[in-house]
């Protein structure tokens, strides 16, 4: 009986540790090309990105975060701060926009998972970004849960332009938060990863560079390019990906998506799937019937939602 009770308590402890990845791994850092935890052990985070906060604000709440953690087994979520697009974007409505992001960040901290604060823009907005990330660093800089993604997907900017912007935002964050991971984007929607590999940001630690893929569009050529960047010493984080075309539409290419998953797992790369939203498109994982605060049944999930949940539950064991 005593042995059975000991085994039971051990099992409960293990489940509790898994359910609280931040409690297990603590402060993350970059060693070489790897993301590691407080004990120097390699960490692979896997989770979901919310859609633009100003387009799908109804999902930015504690209930949905809790559901993604408990049912989808996410160890990280990504809160996408929509910068432009409409009057609800950060540029025109910074206070309420920041509150939406804070709702997800606060919930992730409460649930013991990691959270990416994502400046979801394709354009350089330096002054606004510095103001926003200074505030986020003041609020959350002492929390090991937080990861800053300072430029979601530069599109037609040159790498020197993106690098100069990133250096200014990194400097702003590091003046307040010296430790938490910062994710840096690259031109052409995070596909020209060879450019920062040849000319990385210097003078700061705990930086990683983002690669984004959509499996029906981006195939072996992007994996090869990223392999070369890793060989040159770049730490990579796949902060947005999914199985359809880069447009967000079209059928899932499950064969190619699995190749990406296998490649990321072999390289011990963290990955985030796009997106928690209910738009009439392939990449939105939810149907209109999905409640705002989680408790989603399979009937509430689109094909991409069913597949994303399946992957997360499989690999986040």
Q: How many CB atoms lie within 10 A of CB 280?
A: 9
Token pair recorded at residue 191: 């596909």
**Inter-helix orientation angle 220-231/254-266, to 10°:** 10
With a CB cutoff of 8 Å and minimum separation 6, the contacts of 42 are 34, 35, 36, 268
Question: All domains of the chain, ordered by start, with CATH?
Answer: 45-315 (3.20.20.80)
Q: Which residue among the candidates 149, 157, 240, 256 is catalytic per the annotation?
A: 240
In which residue ranges of the chain is pLDDT below 70? 1-18
Asked if 72 and 81 touch (Cβ cutoff 8 Å), the reply is no
**Inter-helix orientation angle 126-140/94-111, to 10°:** 40
Task: State pLDDT tens for residues 179-204.
Answer: 999 999 999 999 999 999 999 999 99
> What is the C-alpha separation between 159 and 38, in angstroms, rounded?
32
Place of tokens 């809160």: 79
pLDDT score of 310: 98
Q: Which residues are bridge partners to 47 per DSSP?
A: 76, 272
pLDDT score of 317: 84
With a CB cutoff of 8 Å and minimum separation 6, the contacts of 41 are 25
Separation in Å, CA 256 to CA 42, 77, 88, 207, 266:
26, 24, 36, 28, 15
pLDDT score of 14: 40
With a CB cutoff of 8 Å and minimum separation 6, the contacts of 121 are 83, 84, 151, 152, 153
- Which helix (H) or strand (E) covers residue 162, if one does? helix 159-174
> Tell me, what DSSP letter sits at residue 42?
B
Token pair recorded at residue 44: 């692979």
Asked if 276 and 67 touch (Cβ cutoff 8 Å), the reply is no
Q: Which residue among the candidates 153, 157, 245, 256 is catalytic per the annotation?
A: 153
Q: Please say if 240 is a catalytic residue.
A: yes
Token pair recorded at residue 70: 């408990």
């Amino acid at each position: 009986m005593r042995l059975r009770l000991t085994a039971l308590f051990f099992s409960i402890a293990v489940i509790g540790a898994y359910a609280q990845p931040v409690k297990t791994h603590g402060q993350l850092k970059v060693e070489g090309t790897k993301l590691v935890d407080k004990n120097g052990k390699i960490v692979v985070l896997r989770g979901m990105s919310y859609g633009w906060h100003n387009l799908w604000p109804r999902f930015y709440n504690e209930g949905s975060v809790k559901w993604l953690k408990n049912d989808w087994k996410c160890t990280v979520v990504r809160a996408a701060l929509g910068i432009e697009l409409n009057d609800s974007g950060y540029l025109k409505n910074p206070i309420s926009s920041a509150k939406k992001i804070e709702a997800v960040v606060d919930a992730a901290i409460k649930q013991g998972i990691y959270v990416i604060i994502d400046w979801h823009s394709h354009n350089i907005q330096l002054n606004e970004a510095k103001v926003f990330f200074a505030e986020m660093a003041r609020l959350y800089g002492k929390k090991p849960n937080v990861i800053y993604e300072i430029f979601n997907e530069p599109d037609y900017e040159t790498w020197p332009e993106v690098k100069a912007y990133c250096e200014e935002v990194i400097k702003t964050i590091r003046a307040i938060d010296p430790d938490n991971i910062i994710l840096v984007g690259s031109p052409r929607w995070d596909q020209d990863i060879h450019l920062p590999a040849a000319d990385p940001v210097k003078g700061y630690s705990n930086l990683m560079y983002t690669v984004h893929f959509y499996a029906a569009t981006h195939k072996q050529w992007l994996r090869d390019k990223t392999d070369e960047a890793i060989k040159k010493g770049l730490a990579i984080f796949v902060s947005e990906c999914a199985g359809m075309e880069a447009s967000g539409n079209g059928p899932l290419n499950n064969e190619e998506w699995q190749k990406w998953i296998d490649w990321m797992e072999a390289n011990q790369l963290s990955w985030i799937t796009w997106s928690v939203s209910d738009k009439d498109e392939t990449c939105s994982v939810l149907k209109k019937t999905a409640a705002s605060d989680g408790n989603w049944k399979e009937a509430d999930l689109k094909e991409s939602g069913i597949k994303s949940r399946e992957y997360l539950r499989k690999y986040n064991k």
